[in-house]
Structure formats: C-alpha cells, structure tokens
Amino acid sequence: MDHDEELMRGRVYGQDHDDPRRGPQQGRDYAELTGGPLDGLLLDITGWSPDRIRAGAALETGLGRYGTTGRSLYQPRPDAPDRFDWAGDTSA
C-alpha cells in the first residue's frame, strides 16, 4: 500500500487529511466505498432517505479517470446498503 492509500484508509470522504477528527464520528451513519479511486473511504450518509441511498453518489475526486474535473460513481449494494461499490467515472 502506498502512502496516499494509507492516508485514505479509515477516513471520511470530504474531510481534510490533517483534520484531527477525520475518522467516523459517533452518532453518524456511514457507507464504506469499495473499489475505484476512493476505495476504503467512508461516506457520511447521515439523514439520507432510502431513495437517496438507492440513487448512489457521484463524488468529486482528482484520483479518477478524468482528474480534477471528474467524479467517481458509487452505487449501494442491493444486499448491503452500507457498502457503495464503484460503478465508474464521469467527466462532469
């Protein structure tokens, strides 16, 4: 595992890597991102409705196929909505 991957493990998507509270917080709901450029990060889904969870997420990242202008697409697993699987990258 390289240094960048190590920094991302156990982190919540969208939190700064040097934030002292970068890990999951008590009382929040998270989905683990699996596969793709954000593998291993947690996505805070606190307050998301079941419909919103089923819709998945298009997450900004400079690590995907399209660099800083792209998004990585993640969809919840049908049998485990607390795990979102990578579905590809998009340029907008």
**What is the rounded CA–CA span in Å between residue 65 and residue 3?**
20
Residue type, 71: R
Considering the chain, what is the average pLDDT of its residues? 82
Q: Are 71 and 57 in contact (CB under 8 A)?
A: no
pTM confidence score: 0.79
**What is the rounded CA–CA span in Å between residue 3 and residue 33?**
19
DSSP letter (8 states) at residue 62: S
Largest Cα–Cα distance in the chain? 36
pLDDT tens digits for range 38-80: 999 999 999 999 999 999 999 988 776 766 778 899 999 999 9
